[in-house]
């Protein structure tokens, strides 16, 4: 068997992934009991596959080593939280920021600042302090977790757009990019309207 790109840390990564998943599910349940609102529709958590991680190291021009995979790449553990409403995203973000042993090392709000192609999502990178040693020899080792938060509509758009990326050399490339952006703006319009309707209902 070839050596894992994650060295001896693959199991720890799996454990941390499941711990994070559990924590998110726990606060989701708490909020539900307090308010009756589900702020997380569903979530997906994964440790990046060996192949994808190796491919990414190559693409970024760094050696295929456990150190690259764990310290230079910051998405070995990835979590995607799908929310019903836009405000739920920010509620999740607040809770994630307040995790006691986590430091937010990067935050990008592609909802308020959508990408030029129309992509909308909230990205966070957390650095988790653990009781496991890490590859640099720290006894309380630190591991990165990448979190993406989206509404159901944003997630559908991203999923469909991603599928089409695989097809190269499409005719009318420009028109298609423009129309995809229009779809993103239309879905965003629905998200904002749904949020506004919910606000009006709960104020009334």
Partner 1 sequence: MRLLLAEDEKELSRALQAILNHSGYAVDAVYNGQEAVEQAGKNAYDAMIFDIMMPVMDGITALKTLREQADYTPVLLLTAKAEVDDRITGLDAGADDYLTKPFAMGELLARIRSMTRRNDTYTQKKLTVGSVILDTSEQSLSCENSIRLANKEVKLAELFMNHAGIAISTEEILDKIWNNDGNGKAVWMYVCFLNSKLQSINADITISGEENGSFTLYVVGESA
The binding site for partner 1 (CB under 8 A) comprises 111-114, 181-182, 185-186, 188-189, 192-193, 195-197, 199-200
Given a contact cutoff of 8 angstroms between Cβ atoms, the answer to whether 57 and 68 are in contact is yes
Residue 193, helix vs strand vs coil: helix
For partner 1, which is the closer residue by CB, 71 or 123? 123
For partner 1, which is the closer residue by CB, 82 or 86? 86
Given a contact cutoff of 8 angstroms between Cβ atoms, the answer to whether 38 and 25 are in contact is no
| Distance in Å, CB of 181 to partner 1, minimum | 8
Q: To which H or E segment does residue 109 belong?
A: strand 102-109
For partner 1, which is the closer residue by CB, 98 or 193? 193
For partner 1, which is the closer residue by CB, 113 or 168? 113
For the CA atoms of 82, 86, 89, 90, the dihedral, rounded to the nearest 10 degrees, stands at: 180
| Token pair in block for residue 147 | 């979190």
| Distance in Å, CB of 196 to partner 1, minimum | 5
Given a contact cutoff of 8 angstroms between Cβ atoms, the answer to whether 106 and 70 are in contact is no
| Distance in Å, CB of 114 to partner 1, minimum | 4
| Token pair in block for residue 65 | 């080593």
For partner 1, which is the closer residue by CB, 26 or 193? 193
Give the residue among 55, 58, 53, 49 at the shortest CA–CA distance from 69. 53
| Distance in Å, CB of 84 to partner 1, minimum | 16
| Distance in Å, CB of 160 to partner 1, minimum | 17
| Token pair in block for residue 175 | 């028109």
């Amino acid at each position: 068997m070839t050596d894992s790109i994650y060295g001896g840390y693959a199991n720890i990564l799996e454990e941390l992934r499941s711990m994070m998943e559990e924590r998110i599910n726990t606060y989701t349940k708490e909020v539900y009991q307090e308010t009756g609102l589900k702020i997380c529709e569903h979530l997906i958590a994964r440790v990046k596959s060996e192949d994808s991680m190796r491919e990414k190291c190559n693409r970024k021009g760094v050696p295929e080593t456990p150190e690259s995979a764990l310290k230079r790449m910051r998405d070995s553990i990835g979590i995607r939280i799908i929310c019903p409403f836009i405000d739920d995203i920010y509620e999740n973000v607040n809770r994630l920021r307040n995790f006691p042993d986590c430091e937010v090392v990067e935050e990008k709000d592609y909802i308020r600042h959508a990408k030029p192609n129309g992509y909308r999502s909230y990205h966070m990178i957390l650095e988790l302090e653990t009781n496991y040693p890490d590859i640099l020899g720290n006894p309380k080792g630190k591991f990165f977790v990448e979190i993406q938060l989206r509404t159901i509509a944003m997630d559908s758009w991203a999923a469909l757009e991603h599928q089409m990326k695989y097809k190269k050399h499409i005719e009318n490339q420009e028109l298609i990019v423009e129309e995809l952006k229009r779809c993103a703006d239309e879905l965003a319009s629905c998200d904002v309207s749904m949020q506004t309707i919910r606000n009006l209902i709960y104020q009334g």
